[in-house]
Amino acid sequence: MCGQLVEGDVQAALHVAAYLGHENIIRTISAKVVTMGWHMDYNNGLYYAAQHNHISTVQLLIDCGADTDTRTGSFGSPLVAACSKSHMAVVQLLIANGANVNLRTRMSYYRTALSAASFTGNTTLAQLLLDHGADSNCGGTTGGSVIFDAAETGHLSVIQLLIDHGADVNAKTPVNKTTVLHAAAEKGQVSAIQLLIDHGAKVNARGGIFGTPLQAALYNNHTAVVKLLLENGADVNQKVWGTTPLWNASHRGQYGIVELLIENGAAINTQGAYGTALEAAVIHHRYHIEKLLLRHGAQPVPRPTTPVPKECKESFECSLMP
């Protein structure tokens, strides 16, 4: 009948009231639910209230029976939602009411509350979570642990905090074995890389789609990271997918990086899966790099009369270069 409330309508109204922080409406709905004998789910309401920093509304919904560890919403849980928005008071309230700081979300961006704090660089929030038992090696956003989140985004204070609480600086992702240093090198996070190295990160670790941190930095044209890694013992001649850093830089036309590699002892005439560095430069018409390599002792090669084979350009190895 028109105008008659049904249970679904009341549930929707509860969600809107929680989203907006209208506590009187929530109280009215709660009383109506008791009168009508309806079952009301307060969990989604708690998620919305936590996400939008309605502190007293959060407490009200908990008092109504909302589960602080409900898995819901795009952030995965009320605690993760509050952490992602840096709502410190809401986080404290949820923890005080029994929220699990190590709860793993299902299909959200941040896998845990500490992941959200690490990615957003909120050191105070990360400290709070760690003080309440958060695992410093719990899952992060990109398949690795939370230190990956802090390293990729360059949040040095969070990185240091996690290390102080036992985070593994040589942790690897379970699928392709990318290390924290690979992740930081790919994003060009110079200061984070130095901090990780200072705490024992392995500069020549193998793994990930780029193979080594040096190749990850090279692929993304992070010259300062290449320089830093070389200064800290990165193997200038370590092959990945059959090619050396010098071959890849020559292929890509990265003159400054080629100079850096040569200055740090790159073997000019090393044969790889696709020939020497000079051959890479010649094939891809990197004339300035050709001259540089020849000045440093590269063995001359005949100039090709045919273009690079399509299958080479499209292969995984050559996909590391444009």
The model's pLDDT over 99-130, given as tens digits with 9 standing for 90+, comes to 999 999 876 788 999 999 999 999 999 999 99
Q: Model pTM? A: 0.87
- pLDDT score for 132: 98
- pLDDT score for 2: 41
Among the listed ranges 226-235, 252-261, 308-317, which one has the minimum average pLDDT value? 308-317
Distances (CA, A) of 153 to 121, 149, 199, 295, 300: 8, 6, 18, 39, 43
Please say if the pLDDT value at position 37 is more than 80: no
- pLDDT score for 303: 63
Q: How does DSSP classify residue 76? A: S
- pLDDT score for 241: 87
- pLDDT score for 109: 80
Q: pLDDT averaged over the chain? A: 90
- pLDDT score for 9: 81
- Tell me the residue length of the chain: 322
Q: Find the mean pLDDT for residues 61-78.
A: 94
Cα distance between residue 58 and residue 202, in whole Å: 45
Please say if the pLDDT value at position 200 is more than 80: yes
Please say if the pLDDT value at position 318 is more than 50: no
**Model confidence at 320, in pLDDT bands (50, 70, 90)?**
very low
Please say if the pLDDT value at position 317 is more than 90: no
**Residue 217 CB: number of other CB atoms within 10 A?**
32
Distances (CA, A) of 183 to 120, 154, 217, 265, 285: 16, 11, 9, 25, 31
Among the listed ranges 72-76, 85-89, 175-179, 304-308, which one has the minimum average pLDDT value? 304-308
Give the rounded distance of the alpha carbon of 10 from its chain centre.
Answer: 40
Give the rounded distance of the alpha carbon of 145 from its chain centre.
Answer: 9
Question: Considering the chain, what percentage of its residues have pLDDT values greater than 90?
Answer: 77
